[in-house]
C-alpha cells in the first residue's frame, strides 16, 4: 500500500506543529520573565526594608563583629579619613568608601547611612507627626 499526501496538508500540519511549539515557548519565556521581575521586586523590597546604622556599617566594612566597642573604634577610624565617607549603592550590606563630593554630587547613585542617634531622631519626629 502506498500513501500519498497532499503537499498542502503536510505543510499545514508542519506549520501548525511549529506554531504551537513557538506559542508554548513564548508562554514559558513570558512566565519566566514575570517570575524574574517578581524576584527583582522582592529583592528590591527586601533591600528597602534593611536598615543598618552607620555604627553597624563601620563594623561590616572592616569585617568585624558588631559590638559597641568595635563600632566606636571603626567609626572613629572612618571619621579620621578626610574627604571620604562610607556609603552604599543598592545593598546596605555592601558598604563602600567614596569621595564626599562624589556622594553629594550623585545622591541618586549613592546612599548614606544614618547614625543610631539620627535614626532615633527620625523615629521620634515620625511619632510626633502622627500624634503618638
- The pLDDT assigned to 122 comes to 75
In this prediction, residues 55-84 reach a mean pLDDT of 93
Q: Give 71-121 pLDDT, tens digit per residue.
A: 999 999 999 999 999 999 988 889 999 999 999 998 889 988 888 887 777
> What pLDDT is attached to residue 20?
58
Give me 37's grid cell. 521581575
What does the domain layout of the chain look like in residue ranges? 7-49, 54-129
CA-CA distance, 27 to 25, in Å (whole number)? 5
Between 24 and 114, the higher pLDDT residue: 114
Between residues 113 and 69, the one the model is more confident about:
69
Look-up: residue for cell 572613629? Answer: 76
Amino acid at each position: 500500500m502506498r500513501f500519498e499526501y497532499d503537499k498542502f496538508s503536510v505543510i499545514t500540519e508542519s506549520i501548525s506543529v511549529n506554531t504551537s511549539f513557538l506559542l508554548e515557548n513564548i508562554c514559558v519565556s513570558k512566565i519566566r520573565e514575570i517570575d524574574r521581575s517578581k524576584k527583582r521586586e522582592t529583592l528590591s523590597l527586601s533591600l528597602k526594608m534593611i536598615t543598618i546604622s552607620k555604627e553597624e556599617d563601620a563594623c561590616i566594612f572592616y569585617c568585624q563583629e558588631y559590638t559597641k566597642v568595635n563600632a566606636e573604634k571603626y567609626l572613629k577610624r572612618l571619621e579620621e579619613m578626610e574627604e571620604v565617607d562610607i556609603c552604599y549603592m543598592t545593598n546596605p550590606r555592601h558598604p563602600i568608601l567614596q569621595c564626599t563630593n562624589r556622594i553629594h554630587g550623585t545622591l541618586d547613585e549613592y546612599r548614606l547611612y544614618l547614625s543610631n542617634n539620627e535614626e532615633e531622631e527620625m523615629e521620634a519626629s515620625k511619632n510626633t507627626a502622627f500624634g503618638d
